[in-house]
A and B are shown apart, each in its own frame.
Chain A
Amino acid sequence: KRSSITRRVSLTERLHLLLQCEYHSGTAGDVGLEIILWSFLSVGPRSPQSADYPDLRKHNNCMASSLTPAIYAKLCDKATPNGYTLDLAIQTGVDNPGHPFIKTVGMVAGDEESYEVFSDLLDPIIKERHNGYDPSTMKHPTDLDASKIHSGNFDPRYVLSSRVRTGRSIRGLSLPPACTRAERREVERVVVDALAGLHGDLDGKYYSLTQMTDGEQQQLIDDHFLFDKPVSPLLTCAGMARDWPDARGIWHNNEKTFLVWVNEEDHTRVISMEKGGNMKRVFERFCKGLLEVERLIQERGWEFMWNERLGYVLTCPSNLGTGLRAGVHVKLPLLSKDPRLSKILDNLRLQKRGTGGVDTAAVGGVFDISNLDRLGLSEVQLVQTVVDGVNYLIECEKRLEKGQDIKVPPPPLKQFK
């Protein structure tokens, strides 16, 4: 059921099959075959390849680091079965040379097949971004068994809130940079239909962006649930804001602890959160909700995009694997002033952000601390990393409060050769 794209066919067999087969995009078994067949197809450039090669001299993103003229020449006239091309995939990286706080990826996928058709470029990008993970040789572990987490209940005097998010894509439908309006509406229909099947503490309601009332809108803003049309040029240049707000919406449970964004940066973004430090409970709800939604869409003949080498497939290569960001808002006023903080975080495989999200800086010693990694480690492993790391940071803060010294933890073993 989980399609692994490893089937190899000979050239003659390919041509033979081309003459015979019907194109049914999206069924799990045919996807692999289509990809191999399509990757031989020439779309036909309008000008010589070198004339189209982007000027990346002022650029500092992963795409610019990996896109040599040779790779560009090889891939520029290829397209996925949905017609997504290299130029479309890299446009965001060409238009956005760099970001002040982070080295951006600079490339997106328009569909599941992008990761195959453009693997000559995406594999090195994935390797750079994911700490040496090599998609051509390695396998990604998936583990959504929350019972394995230990010590996941933080001191609420320090941890203000806990949150776990990921994304999921519906196999057979193009991703936000490339989807047509009908595909996007289909994503909405499939997901909302499935979410309607959730019960108990997950019982909830969907608010479509096009139809919400002013009252509903205000409530969602007050709850900090409402997402707005993207303004970040990283996203708008990739075409993700097209047709806004058509087929976009927010679903959340009545208790406001489980939230699903539909058709924002991915088909779905799934978020489990609560005030306080019970990360274990947050992760339990996260796993339960995800597995239940997966079961519900499978009942209706759909599945999530997933494969052994890349794990869950999402729009941005940075979110492959688990797509998981588990984090806390934590008060570390003393530690925030300690020059060793960055090193400590690095060695714990954690990152800090401001409490406004990826594009903000920290305010008042309150940080958003989350896992750095996404791919090559399972969900359980990553959440445990956050749990262990945050516990360590709180220990440091307590020691500093008492005037004691703190230690930088040893660096982790190098993960991927």
Chain B
Amino acid sequence: MVKDSSTQQLIKRISVNWSQLKMKYSSDQEYPDLSQHNNHMAKVLTPEIYESLRDKETPSGFTVDDVIQTGIDNPGHPFIMTVGCVAGDEETYEVFKELLDPVIEDRHGGYKPSDQHKTDLNPDNLQGGDDLDPDYVLSSRVRTGRSIRGFCLPPHCSRGERRAIENLSLESLDMLDGDLKGKYYALKNMSEEEQQQLIDDHFLFDKPVSPLLLASGMARDWPDGRGIWHNDNKTFLVWVNEEDHLRVISMQKGGNMKEVFNRFCTGLTKIEGLFKERSHEFMWNEHLGYVLTCPSNLGTGLRAGVHVKLPNVSKHDKFGDILKRLRLQKRGTGGVDTAAVGGVFDISNADRLGFSEVELVQMVVDGVNLLVDMEKKLEAGESIDDIIPEQK
């Protein structure tokens, strides 16, 4: 159809009618049943907010129903209070502010719509952190995510967009050198040997099985456009098109968190520079920091953590309280959906937004040092009451 002005008018009339079709039923008739639900979305989404948002969409067509589908389909999680909503693009956080601002406030310790987030990726600002006791701290790791501005996020991107993200990423990553020089393994082209090696290195990510992710559409077209890049030293790893455009991970055995964080910052800054050379930037703004798919990962998107042996401390009745005061969280060594085994815990920062990267890693370093001290005291039969910290 030739798009002259009368046709333009026609199309406008039809689009108007089309969204009226979507509004055929009343808000009450469409409002989801959240009576069995316990996630942040369910706590916040009143019928009034739903009504106010249901006729809106982002420029790429993402609607409030798309935002909340995962939260409707997954009433709750046994270990954590899930968010229950996702973003389909950068604009989601604007268009659906009425829902997402309270979710963010609830999830991120009272972070207000007017608050500003500080970004600090200067590893020199970290104090200490190079000597966490390796008898207790088995490994150290820092991860974050990055989204490429101008593309839709994993719940909503088309195959073409996802492939473009993959191409941009591997072009940029290919330019890394020195300690960061590495190679990309596309999921759909991997040889059997490559696959086995990546599994042995614990690098390979598989198609998501968590219904939290599946229900939001992030696994569509698997494994098209997905892959893993890592440096030759196997200490710096990038996941492409899994739960975010990019997940960047720096890791190594032992307790030298400072070195891990150094590499993390250096790598990220270099990658950002390489993308900019190709006229692309990361999604970032002053209020939300780095913009990612899940509202829980806004700000720094950073999870800095260790695998640490705490068999005695973990049995102390104040363990949960101590972690809370240190602004840390515990997970099993299999990740967010697992429980701890053999007294070995994954301990990481609980916060993402409202603190800078340096501040969060500092909390982990200081907190883990304290926990290891407590473990040693309990081993020696001493009390730890006098070193229980104040609330940070």
Contact = CB atoms under 8 A, between A and B. Distances in A.
Interface in B211-225: 214-215, 219-222, 224
Contacts of A19: 10, 13
B285 interface: no
Contacts of B18: 81, 83
Nearest to B30: A182
Given A55-B224, A83-B18, A95-B222, A46 B29 contact: no
24 contacts: A18-B14, A19-B10, A19-B13, A41-B11, A46-B160, A47-B164, A51-B164, A52-B159, A53-B159, A54-B159, A54-B221, A55-B224, A81-B18, A94-B224, A180-B22, A180-B25, A180-B65, A181-B29, A181-B32, A186-B29, A210-B33, A236-B214, A243-B73, A246-B33
Nearest to B188: A55
B160 A47 contact: yes
B25 A46 contact: no
Contacts of B152: 46
Contacts of A246: 32-33
A95 B163 contact: no
Contacts of B159: 51-54
Interface residues of B, number: 38
Interface in B1-52: 1, 10-11, 13-14, 17-18, 20-22, 24-26, 29-33
A83 B160 contact: no
A242 B72 contact: yes
B187 to A, nearest CB: 11
Interface in A222-267: 236-237, 241-244, 246
A178 B170 CA distance: 36
A241 B73 contact: yes
Nearest to B9: A19
B94 to A, nearest CB: 19
B123 to A, nearest CB: 37
Interface in B33-79: 33, 60, 65, 69, 72-73
B42 to A, nearest CB: 13
A393 B159 CA distance: 49
B226 to A, nearest CB: 12
Contacts of B160: 45-48, 51-52
B32 A47 contact: no
Contacts of B366: none
A60 interface: no
A15 B72 contact: no
A47 B214 CA distance: 24
Nearest to A47: B160
Contact of A46 (B13, B33, B161, B224): B161
A186 B224 CA distance: 37
Nearest to A18: B10
Given A15-B10, A18-B10, A52-B159, A243 B1 contact: no
Contacts of A25: 21, 24
Interface in B160-195: 160-161, 163-164, 188
B161 A83 contact: no
Given A42-B11, A241-B73, 4 more contacts: A23-B17, A48-B160, A180-B22, A181-B32
Interface string A1-33: 000000000000001001100010100000000
Interface string A116-153: 00000000000000000000000000000000000000
Nearest to A237: B220
Nearest to A43: B61
Interface string A323-355: 000000000000000000000000000000000
Contacts of A308: none
B136 to A, nearest CB: 42
A378 to B, nearest CB: 35
A391 interface: no
A381 interface: no
A18 B224 contact: no
B225 to A, nearest CB: 9
Given A243-B73, A246-B32, A87 B25 contact: no
Contacts of B31: 181
Interface residues of A, number: 39
B27 to A, nearest CB: 9
A160 B10 CA distance: 61
B29 A182 contact: yes
B266 interface: no
A52 B20 CA distance: 29
A41 B14 contact: yes
B196 interface: no
A91 B72 contact: no
B158 interface: yes
B69 A183 contact: no
Contacts of A18: 10, 13-14
A185 interface: yes
A94 B221 contact: yes
A82 interface: yes
A404 B216 CA distance: 59
Contacts of A180: 22, 25, 30, 65
B155 to A, nearest CB: 13
A54 B30 contact: no
A90 B72 CA distance: 24
B24 A87 contact: no
B188 to A, nearest CB: 7
A381 to B, nearest CB: 39
A25 B224 CA distance: 36
A227 to B, nearest CB: 17
A95 B221 contact: yes
B71 to A, nearest CB: 11
A416 interface: no
Contacts of B22: 83, 180
Interface string B202-235: 0000000000001100011110100000000000
A94 B162 CA distance: 15
B245 to A, nearest CB: 15
A247 to B, nearest CB: 9
Contacts of A48: 160
B158 A87 contact: yes
A182 B25 contact: yes
B11 to A, nearest CB: 7
Interface string A90-101: 010011000000
Contacts of A55: 188, 221, 224
Contacts of A244: 73
A185 B33 CA distance: 11
Contacts of B220: 91, 94-95, 237
Contacts of B65: 180
Contacts of A95: 219-222
A87 B61 CA distance: 14
Interface string A278-313: 000000000000000000000000000000000000
Contact of A52 (B30, B158, B188, B222): B158
Nearest to A244: B73
Contacts of A53: 159
A370 B161 CA distance: 44
A183 B24 CA distance: 10
